[in-house]
Structure 1
């Protein structure tokens, strides 16, 4: 039965590339996963799979953490609508261009990447802030939203996993603290930063694409298609930049405050899902208040705009919900554990670390979750450290990098959906255009782990 646990993600990926429809692909994957769960439990009533699939969606939505992500995703729609229809986006773009802060495509790309790096507290907040901030600038300078989605997605997770003064670091520390290691969990985790080759290579490649103002692979077609049409830069005439900048600044600053608050004064122990929800809700309320205060819209008009914005994002919110649901179904099936089994005890010592990276990538790609990959692979990797005497930081770096690599390539990842949402582009377009960059960084990383293993274990 173990090998059958990979059928649902394969169904999802096959339907995505066949029908070009993510929601259908995820729904069929959840349905097939629930059917396999019934078969695996020796329950003959496999025709109950549709009912079980619905209940799995309900259970997923009932989880406090998942509910926060879903509400946050809906609120983003209202926030985007407020700052867009108010004319704040146009005013901000004009202000930055006139001040010379964003007077070229390279400067716009660099500003976007810097914003994503600066907001390293939480990955969703990073992509959201950078995406909202840069949308109008990318439109103004004729750069595709696919390029924006790539920059923010390939900046957020690598930065979060390298800086670690956030929920990512706290989560991984909690996994490492359960084991006796040849050093403190904190020192091993901080040491893994230098061996997280995928995160480092990915950031360098993003920086290269910005500094050289070059795109490659399917991204070229997106840029050409954009240049052949007249870009509608504004939906509303410019008003006041504060309609955009004030909500965004409040969202970022309040996110930091909420992280301290939910972590009882310790930033790295704060709840990312709670903090990003509270910060987004506050920013949305402030944006609404500014519209009324400056008499830009009446209460009725603002409410209509907010709900219109929420409605525009419902397809992406559905993708997020189904992605989370599929992850829960695959956890019951044990897909991640099966994939992790490719790293066996009979591997040559030099191949263990590269194979851990590959296992993490495959697991994250097929399950759509990097954190779930960490939770499964670290308990497998730590015993290898203990029994084989492998360098702890090298092993942990490979596991973390593999999880992010697979997540960057996966069309069923909730992070992929959120990045597309923030940039305002189609999920499949984002996956297709980001894949070559991620694959190139992954290939370089694999070579780096072979070399590191030879040097450190030879």
Structure 2
């Protein structure tokens, strides 16, 4: 197979990663990579390159026939010829993200989170139970990782403080439930982002065996890092396992009540709660989320059943998921959730200027994610035109067994997520490459490769000090930022090692044997850590006596 750009096709994704590492600015880095990619695609013709980028971005808003040799006037004419028909996929996803951001902000503003914390404090009576509170809340508040990290930490902190849980331990539980929960939930902002990206990747590479929503669901049971991280937290809480710097923080908190390192002073960047209402009620937290989930789920199955019936097919679970209109369902479901959030907030008679500020804050919180998503969709178009994945596939097709592809992509995603500090930026760069490689080497490996990219990105994001969720988890939990990074590191690395072995086994023997291997390694790890803790405790007791 001829590859017109050859090694040069790697330039845009490598440039994007390098610039992010050097500048820590994802948007600028992706933008420069897109410009370079477009310049290459359109034969160093700057006018066509800019028009090509304009055409790709316009395609996110309007549905029209793409122009092979784009000009600004030609693209405008194509949009007009299509009667300015709106794009009912990418545009719906962007609107969904905006509505989710406002729902999250209103829940915080209404005081629903604080009300829940007060309610829980009357029912949770042990230190171990207090540790399970942020874990459970992570499942409840799954619609967005920013919202999760900030809300769960602030909701749990009054209770965990009472039981002398170190802020580092709380931050670890918050961080290790936020992204891992969001990445396996199709109704989260992460789910919308990933499904939107997968839809473009699958279409571009003619992987027609499943739709984007199905592909996302298929990645969930083999997203080893996310699932093992959640299991690991449960075992750590149940068996009271603290290692490394985390043990020092926990021992000090239990003995003295000092929840952070006193040598480092007060925690900077504590959240400003001036706008949060003090008369919040628990229902203001739960009703909007329940409305969002029920409405969206119902619409998913309704639109799927209707479309399947139109094709003369029975309304089975698989058919409904295959034919569902995910974009419309997410948009209308989020509209209903937003209406409920507005109603429950207004029921407390808020100050209207503050109410408007809360709405603006919700929109502002989602704009960076939307910018990255738009640039990721544009990056996908340029990578596909350059044939980056096809070239990589040609390099490994004869020299690398396809069974190694999941673990290779997992390791690449781990490094990318660590270096860039962004899971979403890594998704945008690596998912299209994974799709191209799978289509040309072994289509049956597409889902494992997608899962490997998602899993590796979460790990890299977890241990990166420049990760947004790392920063927000520490801030929401009232922990020093670098204390959180260093205390979480050993747990994340152990989880990644187990996940890496699972992806290696997955590529050759399938998911059942992969989970057997992962379960065995997790059990051995927990037993070894327990033994190490007991030995360390014994030495400390002997020294004290």
Give the TM-score, by structure 1 length. 0.69
Match status 1:288 vs 2:342: yes
Residue-by-residue CA offset, 1:354-381 (whole Å, 9 max, x unaligned): 2343147648968624764664344345
**Structure 1 partner of 2:21:** 17
The equivalent position to 2:296 in structure 1, one of 255, 258, 261, is 255
- Contact conserved, 1:83 with 1:287, CA < 8 A, in 2? yes
Structure (1 or 2) with the larger CA radius of gyration: 2
Residue 334 of structure 1: CA displacement? 2.0
Q: 2:424 matched to 1:368? A: no
Determine if contact 1:35/1:46 at 8 Å carries over to the other structure. yes
Partner Cα separation in structure 1 for residue 468 and residue 265 of structure 2:
26
| Matching of residue 134 in structure 1 with residue 134 in structure 2 | no
Corresponding residue number in structure 1 for 2:267: 229
Residue 287 of structure 1, CA deviation: 1.3
Q: Distance in 2 between matches of 1:256 and 1:128?
A: 23
State the Cα distance separating 1:273 from its structure 2 match. 3.4
**Residues 427 and 453 in structure 2, CA contact (< 8 A), matched pair in contact too:** no
Q: CA deviation at 1:114?
A: 4.1
Q: Distance in 2 between matches of 1:252 and 1:280?
A: 9
Q: Work out whether 1:307 is the aligned partner of 2:307.
A: no
* Partner of residue 340 from structure 1, selected from 393, 413, 426: 393
Aligned length: 406
Contact 1:148 1:423 in 2 (8 A): yes
Query: Relative to 1, partners in 2 of residues 1:127 and 1:21: Cα closer, same or farther, differing over 3 Å?
Result: closer
Q: 1:204 to 1:305 in 2, by over 3 A?
A: closer
Q: Distance in 1 between matches of 2:182 and 2:501?
A: 24
* Cα offset, 1:353, TM superposition: 0.8
Please show how residues 49-448 of structure 1 align to structure 2 within 5 Å.
Answer: 49-62=49-62, 63-100=87-124, 106-115=131-140, 125=143, 127=145, 134-140=152-158, 141=160, 142=167, 148-157=174-183, 175=207, 177=209, 201-208=228-235, 212=240, 228-229=266-267, 231-232=270-271, 234-235=273-274, 236=276, 237-264=278-305, 266=317, 268-269=321-322, 270-298=324-352, 302-347=355-400, 351-359=401-409, 362=412, 368-369=427-428, 372=432, 375-380=435-440, 382=442, 398-408=448-458, 441-448=495-502
What do residues 200-242 of structure 1 show as CA deviations (whole Å, max 9, x unaligned)? 5444445456655758899x99x86998417448442242122
- TM-superposed deviation, 1:451: 5.9
Aligned residue among 25, 39, 63 for 1:35: 39
Q: Which runs of 5+ in 2 are unaligned?
A: 63-86, 161-166, 187-191, 250-259, 307-316, 417-424, 511-545
Could you tell me whether the CA contact under 8 Å between 1:74 and 1:313 is conserved in 2? yes
Deviation at 1:401, TM superposition (A): 3.5
User: Secondary structure at the residue paired with 1:313?
Assistant: helix
Q: What is the CA deviation profile of residues 427-455 of structure 1, one whole-angstrom value per residue up to 9, with x for unaligned ones?
A: xx99x899987665454344446567888
Contact 2:150 2:475 in 1 (8 A): no
Partner Cα distance (1:234, 1:215) in 2:
33
Q: Could you tell me how far 1:20 is from its partner in structure 2?
A: 1.8
Which blocks of at least 5 consecutive residues in structure 1 are unaligned?
120-124, 161-165, 179-185, 384-391
Secondary structure of residue in 2 paired with 1:64: coil
Equivalent-residue separation in structure 1 for 2:285 and 2:224 (angstroms)? 36
TM-score by length of 2: 0.59
Root-mean-square deviation over aligned CA pairs? 4.8
Q: Alignment partner of 1:100: what SS? A: coil
Is the Cα contact below 8 Å between 1:82 and 1:288 reproduced in 2?
Answer: yes
TM superposition shift of 1:275: 2.6
Residues 445, 69 of structure 1: alpha-carbon distance in 2 compared, 3 angstrom cutoff: same
Q: Give yes or no for contact 2:101–2:363 (8 Å, CA) kept in 1.
A: yes
